[in-house]
Structure 1
Amino acid sequence: MLNAGDRAPDFSLDSDDGKAVSLADFPGKTVVLYFYPKDDTPGCTREAQAFSAALEAFADAGAVVLGVSRDSVERHRKFRDKYDLGVTLLSDPELAAHNAYGAYGEKTMYGKKVTGAIRSTFIIGPDRKVKHAFSGVKVDGHADAVLALVRGGGGASTPPTPTKGAAAKSAAPRSPAAKSAAKAPAKKAAVKAPAKPVTRSR
């Protein structure tokens, strides 16, 4: 699989509207290229809907979004029309782009090793270098995480994990030792603690 800093391979694939699409069609733009296993399956549908819902925000950030699977152009059209998708879907039946990006190979499904498309996303900068690479993507929240990275720029290959770390940090100052501070919140139920801070095991 490609990593941050790698040169993004060009490709030419037919889209759901029948036109050939390549990286060269988007000079000066950031390209979000995501690979998914199959049209009209639950996870792939949610992912396409999430990217479609965020298309305007991606455009405002100077980015375009392209989805790639092995499905035919005709299946892409049906998928697009059924869910009113706005994201451009590219057909890669010969796996040319999948293999170039490392988005096809062995994976585990329901405890079994199988060979197939690996749900992956690549954020490609205007210089045509990979800025961020995701493999084994979890669908829910993924489009928002990608959008945040596109807006923020930077070069890390793995996105930060926002919620748990942030929640732990914001909870840390509220140790029982801080209870004596003048600006303590009016939540008295949380005040039964010893005078020294309690370290919580995670």
Structure 2
Amino acid sequence: MNSEDEFSGAGQSGERVLPEPLPLEDLYHIYGIERSHADNVARNALELFDILNSVHGLHPEMRTLVEIAALVHDTGAATDFENHHKAGRLILLQHPPSEVPERFWPVVSWTAFLHKKRIGSEKFEKLKGKDFGKMPEQLQELTLKVAALIRLADALDYSRMESRLGKVTFGKRSIRFEIEGQGAVIDAERMEKKGDLWHLLYDTRLEFRPAPKK
């Protein structure tokens, strides 16, 4: 897939196919999703959703959508690890989780696409110029907010060492998280990098540091 196609919603053939929803358990089995990582990312995403609710402003009903998007964010990893964000988007466009209402299927597929690569202002604008930008603005906004949380939640499990959120300190325009666990140094650094989309969307700065050793 060339760079022009990277943000396209069409497959290689350019043909549109009707989605065939699958239950989460089927997606796990067919696409070899790493369950422990998926569960950790979902746990992290829900915790971040709750802590940051005064900033992101998402309706409480979106909590389940965030959880499911987290569970399937790596759907493409076994198919094409190097480009699993692209593979995952295409798979989820064809087989969205049946637990998600149809109107939110694009949120899940685009979140899978958006969870991996760095997102700067240039890529942000390029995204809006492709199929993503053809969606209703409210759906675009929801997708970006969900993806911002999933990026952070995924980063918190980057080391696969069961890192957890520790003490949270709220400032006027910033929130500081202490990361606990053996992989805290690795995962805090990763969260700093993966906070790029969050900082494009919100004025509240997020900071991540390893918790002081006791």
Same fold (TM over 0.5): no
Higher fraction of helix:
2
**What TM-score comes out, normalization by structure 1 length?**
0.29
> RCO greater where, 1 or 2, for CA within 8 Å and sep 6 or more?
1
Larger strand fraction of residues: 1
